[in-house]
Amino acid sequence: MTATQAAGERRVVGNVMRGSLGNLIEWYDWYVYAAFSVYFAKTFFPSGDSTAQLLQSALVFALGFLMRPIGGWLLGQYADRAGRRTALTLSVTVMAAGSLIIAVTPSYHTIGIAAPIILLVARLLQGLSLGAEYATSATYLSEVATPGKRGFYSSFQYVTLVAGQLTALGVQIILQHILTSEQMNSWGWRIPFVIGAAGAVAIMWLRRGMDESSHYEAAASDATAQEKKRGSLRVLLEYPRECLVVVGLTLGGTVAFYTYTTYMQKFMINTSGISKGTVAWINFIALLAFVVIQPLAGALSDRIGRRKLLLFFGITGTVCTVPIMTVLAHTSNPVAAWGLMMLALIIITGYTSINAIVKAELFPTKIRALGVGLPYALTVSIFGGTAESIALALKKAGHESVFFYYVAGCIAISLCIYYFMRETSATSVLESERAADTTREDTAEVPVA
């Protein structure tokens, strides 16, 4: 590797780090709400039944989740028009505002009905920001990555996504050991939101120093691109097949992800009968290992292709989900439970490690952020966001095992898409655009006789 190539690689790493750290902070802020709602629910809602207070805070959480498609739409358009760096900076700024608002809002006993209204507004801002973050960071990481290593670098989106969840859990564990229960309920729950707001502000300044994507700069300076409106629904509708592919490949992946990660903790407690403290450690260790294998799988996709990893997830997820969940339901041994969860996470890695780059490789630069973000966010909100509710409803009805088949069925639908779709790394729009940009640069350097 020459000195120029080494410098270029270091620049790529720096840009990926800035983009990924922002993604971590965004997901930390998102998960902190769920982790600490048990402490702040009574602060924002009228006194009475604690279950009712938790349900009210859960409703606010759900409404924030529904804002993700709007964020993917609004800021996806903005990223395609104003640039990836500008959109990413705006996204983390909005998240900082949401966290800070929650941290400083007075209680219901102080300002009355205004307290839950302000909480709702703050959560809607966070949902808007998160929907924008996925679309733009997936696009940016894919575009700035070194050719031939795009799978490796783009995998860091899920590395930081899960790392944000682990960080929120870590902050909770630390505060629980430092503060008393009374302090946590009174004011301690505000600390993680202050941390999130401060971290988001720091990332906002870091992102201001990121390089803009060369793909975006080339598209923005292209006279023919200026003639067509970038980042609009009208342009997106010119790519119906690509949008349907995003929906299809996301469907099984998002249901499996929320089942294997967030719901798995409740499943081990309520169904397997494992203690809460033990389950917390099982999840922490398993998710930590899950983080480590993401870039390994991403790098593997650069060698063997994306489609093979998706097929691995589709086939093993369809075949193994029901047996894994059935055995886990009757397992009280922590080591065995960890092994089963780890097996499920290895399976879902075939999707999580490369889903961002696969989507980015489908769309041209002028519509990439919106094309990646909007179909994905809609699918996640409809299917991923409802996975836990469906599981709990079926358990309450006495048909818990039906949910296992539901998850396997969703994966099977995506498997059909994986089977018939083309290998995106071989026909990547990202690489064809890069080749075209290089050709234009070379042509521009040829002197005219």
Same domain? For 183 and 245 the reply is no
Are 69 and 375 in contact, with CB atoms under 8 Å apart? no
CATH value at residue 316: 1.20.1250.20
Can you give the pLDDT at residue 48? 63
Out of 209, 226, 251, pick the residue that ends a domain.
209
Question: SS3 for 12?
Answer: helix
Report the alpha-carbon distance of residue 405 to residue 419 in Å, rounded: 20
CA distances from 43 to 46, 49, 59, 95, 115 (A): 8, 13, 15, 21, 8
Whether 190 and 264 map to the same domain: the answer is no
Backbone φ and ψ for 216, nearest 5 degrees, come out as: -65, -45
Identify the pLDDT of residue 191: 95
Distance, in Å, from the CA atom of 368 to the CA atom of 428, rounded to the nearest integer, reads 12
Pair (186, 284) in one structural domain? no
Domain co-membership, 204 together with 242 = no
285 and 390 part of one domain: yes
192 with 274, same domain: the answer is no
- 296: in domain: yes
In a domain, 410, yes or no: yes
pLDDT at 366: 83
Q: Check whether residue 75 and residue 204 sit in a common domain.
A: yes
Instruction: Quickly list DSSP for 415-430.
Output: HHHHHHS--TTTS-HH
How many domains is the chain partitioned into structurally?
Answer: 2
Backbone angles phi, psi at 48, to 5 degrees: 150, -140
**Looking at the structure, do residues 251 and 183 belong to the same domain, yes or no?**
no
Q: Using CA atoms, how far apart are residues 435 and 395, in angstroms rounded to an integer?
A: 53
279, part of any domain: yes
pLDDT tens for each residue of the chain, 449 residues long: 566 666 667 788 888 887 788 888 888 988 888 778 778 878 887 766 555 565 566 667 667 778 888 888 888 888 888 888 888 888 888 988 999 999 999 988 888 888 888 988 888 898 888 888 877 888 888 888 888 888 998 888 889 888 998 998 889 888 988 998 889 888 999 999 999 999 888 888 888 777 887 777 777 776 454 545 566 778 888 889 999 999 999 999 999 998 998 888 888 988 899 887 788 889 889 999 999 999 999 999 999 999 999 999 999 999 999 999 999 999 999 999 999 999 999 999 999 999 989 998 888 888 888 888 889 988 988 888 788 888 888 888 889 899 999 999 999 999 999 999 888 877 767 766 655 544 444 444 433 33
142 and 259 belong to one structural domain: no
Distance CA 282, CA 271 (A): 15
Indicate if 305 and 182 belong to the same structural domain.
Answer: no
Considering the domain architecture, whether residues 322 and 367 belong to the same structural domain is answered as yes
Flag whether 108 is in a domain. Answer: yes
CA 427/CA 429 separation, integer angstroms: 6
Contact 345, 142 (CB under 8 A): no
pLDDT at residue 223, rounded to an integer: 45
Q: Which of 75, 69, 68 is nearest to 90 (CA)?
A: 75
Contacts of residue 337, defined as CB under 8 A and 6 or more positions apart, other chains included, come to: 268, 272, 274, 279, 282, 328, 331
Cβ–Cβ < 8 Å for 59, 116? no
Please indicate, yes or no, if residue 347 is contained in any of the structural domains: yes
Domain extent at residue 334: 238-430
Q: Are residues 151 and 284 in the same domain?
A: no
Identify whether 5 is part of a domain. Answer: no
Task: Report pTM.
Answer: 0.82
Q: 2 in a domain, yes or no?
A: no
CA dihedral sign, ordered 333, 334, 336, 337: positive
Q: Residue 438: inside a domain, yes or no?
A: no
